[in-house]
A = this chain, B = another copy of it.
Amino acid sequence: MSGAADWGADHAAIAATTAKLLAAVNASDVAGVLAVWADEGVLMPPHHPSVQGLEPLRTYFDNLFSRTTFTFRFTSSSIELVGDTAFESVTYIVSTRPTDGRTAREDRGKGLHVYRRQGDGSWQLIHDIWNSDQPAVAPPAPRDQRLGSA
């Protein structure tokens, strides 16, 4: 069993790992993002199927950062430790800037990080899932509805 001192050290190590992830995403630093992920980790991004494993993650983030840069800011974090696993729920604000110069957009949402303690004592991501708080954009209505019955 671990005591309060261990809990504090684990909590600090997990918060530091999240800070590394945030800095890497905000710098479009693919190697920095991958350093936080466990080999078998599963990224679960909105509007894209899950991405599992370091090489698929590398391809995903290479493509993503070539099209878009991000400034994420976590507005809350709650970390729960259960043995060698930890759950962190976060809320965030993100500014998303297309690299083609189109206007940046701001969004806010929430997410869940699942971390696993590694053999060397570090913590790595095994799941990362999030979604937006903003209402969905409605899909275009069928043509006959848009134009009326005329």
Chain A interface (Cβ within 8 Å of chain B)?
A: 42, 44-50, 80, 82-85, 87, 89, 91, 103, 105, 110-112, 114, 127, 129-140, 142
Q: Which of B83, B114, B133, B135 interacts with A83 by CB under 8 Å?
A: B83
A-B contact pairs, 6 of them (CB 8 A): A44-B110, A47-B131, A87-B114, A129-B130, A130-B131, A137-B138
CB A74 to nearest CB in B, in angstroms, measures: 14
Q: How many copies does the complex hold?
A: 2
Report chain B residues within 8 Å CB of A83.
Answer: 82-83
Report chain B residues within 8 Å CB of A142.
Answer: 103
The answer to whether B133 touches A131 (Cβ under 8 A) is no
CB A116 to nearest CB in B, in angstroms, measures: 10
Closest to A108 in B: B49
How far, in whole Å, are A101 and B45 apart by their CA atoms in the complex? 31
Closest to A91 in B: B50
Report chain B residues within 8 Å CB of A114.
Answer: 87, 112
Report chain B residues within 8 Å CB of A48.
Answer: 133, 135
Closest to A141 in B: B102
Beyond A47-B135, A80-B85, A112-B114: 12 further Cβ-contacts under 8 Å? A45-B131, A46-B46, A46-B131, A47-B134, A85-B87, A89-B127, A105-B139, A111-B129, A112-B127, A129-B130, A129-B131, A137-B140
